[in-house]
Structure 1
Amino acid sequence: MTDRFVLVPASYVYLLREGDAGTEVLLQLRQGTPYMDGHWAAAAAGHIERGETAYDAARREALEELGITDVDLSLQFTMQRTQHADAIDERVDWMFTARSWTGTPRVVEAHKAARIDWFPISALPEPMVPHEAYALSQLGTGEVYLTFGF
């Protein structure tokens, strides 16, 4: 019998708006974290806590990281990903988009994000967190289940 792996669940929130170059996404530049510092990533994302749904985690992260509420979430994908290493490297991510919310997004956790900015989906900044760049490339394809690292 093989050892069972452990999944680490997370929720991601991609705020979208229409801009001059088409659909834009709000991203954060990571800093001061143990994961992918100096890379662009979802403006709000984080682990799902025990007893919390993926939707609840997404709303909590949007408030904690961007200071916004009433986020109108739309589930886009579930992504299963791995790095084929330790159990903590087996992950499942729920990726949401939102086009309406209450409040003005701002960096609330300055110790984790250097800044936030809007980018056209067709011209994402570099470097991006790889699995997130892949997910954003799949918006509008109709895919609902993505894998990364297999």
Structure 2
Amino acid sequence: MTDRVEAFAGPDRFVVVPASYVFLLREGSDGTEVLLQRRGAVPYMPGHWAAAAAGHVERGETAYDAAAREALEEIGVTGLSLEFATAMQRTRSGEAIDERIDFFFTARSWTGEPRIVEPLKATELGWFALDDLPDPMVPHEAAVLAGLRDGTLPAYSTFGFAAS
């Protein structure tokens, strides 16, 4: 398969890895709250707070379908009323990693009580006010939440690229 891709795209083409994220939102006594998970012993940013549900979009799956699947697999909820928030093109400032395209969704209604379904990947769930997020946060997710909080989140955003 790699040879076929390189023959078509050329050896200098990069691969973009798609992922979907779900931020469950609710109104709390101090304004809008978001459900976050503390990442467990995983390779990327262990111990950081992150979206309660997120993961790669599988071949032949839409970003919306991936968001719904991840919500079921990671926090046990279904019937989400997903709203598209932003698409973020992301890299790590010249590091040798694949570039990413992250699709962020919010949901204000769902079926079931959110719970940790994969205890090796997530150690804790918590509701946090958008203006009082926990530390440490996964940086690109914190940027999206800041845009949601401030009402400044564009439909397309970038993270990790050098300023031009």
TM class by shorter-chain length? over 0.9
**Structure 2 unmatched runs, 5+:** 1-9
**1:18-42, Cα deviation, whole Å (9 max, x unpaired):** 0011000000000121010010000
Q: In the alignment, what sits opposite 2:80?
A: 71
Q: In the alignment, what sits opposite 2:31?
A: 22
Tell me how far 1:63 sits from its aligned partner: 0.1
Q: In the alignment, what sits opposite 2:142?
A: 133
- Aligned-residue sequence identity (percent) comes to 64
* CA distance 1:87–1:38, change in 2 (3 Å): closer
For 1:85, which of 95, 104, 114 is the aligned residue?
Answer: 95
1:48 aligns with 2:35: no
Q: Which runs of 4+ in 1 moved over 2 A?
A: 84-88
Is the contact between residue 29 and residue 115 of structure 1 (CA under 8 Å) also seen in structure 2? yes
Once residues 42 and 50 of structure 1 are traced to their aligned partners in structure 2, the CA distance between those partners, rounded to angstroms, is: 22
1:122 aligns with 2:159: no
Once residues 87 and 44 of structure 1 are traced to their aligned partners in structure 2, the CA distance between those partners, rounded to angstroms, is: 22
Once residues 87 and 119 of structure 1 are traced to their aligned partners in structure 2, the CA distance between those partners, rounded to angstroms, is: 31
- Computing the radius of gyration from Cα coordinates, the structure with the larger value is 2
- Secondary structure of the structure 2 residue equivalent to 1:122: coil
**Structure 1 unmatched runs, 5+:** none
Q: In the alignment, what sits opposite 1:39?
A: 48
Once residues 12 and 144 of structure 2 are traced to their aligned partners in structure 1, the CA distance between those partners, rounded to angstroms, is: 29
Once residues 2 and 50 of structure 1 are traced to their aligned partners in structure 2, the CA distance between those partners, rounded to angstroms, is: 22
Once residues 70 and 11 of structure 2 are traced to their aligned partners in structure 1, the CA distance between those partners, rounded to angstroms, is: 35
- How does the TM-score come out when normalised to structure 2? 0.88
The amino acid of 1:136's aligned partner reads: L
- Name the Cα RMSD after superposition: 1.2
Is the contact between residue 91 and residue 97 of structure 2 (CA under 8 Å) also seen in structure 1? no
Once residues 153 and 47 of structure 2 are traced to their aligned partners in structure 1, the CA distance between those partners, rounded to angstroms, is: 31
Is the contact between residue 12 and residue 46 of structure 1 (CA under 8 Å) also seen in structure 2? yes
The amino acid of 2:130's aligned partner reads: I
What is the number of residues matched between the two proteins? 149
- How does the TM-score come out when normalised to structure 1? 0.96
Tell me how far 1:134 sits from its aligned partner: 0.4
- Secondary structure of the structure 2 residue equivalent to 1:56: helix
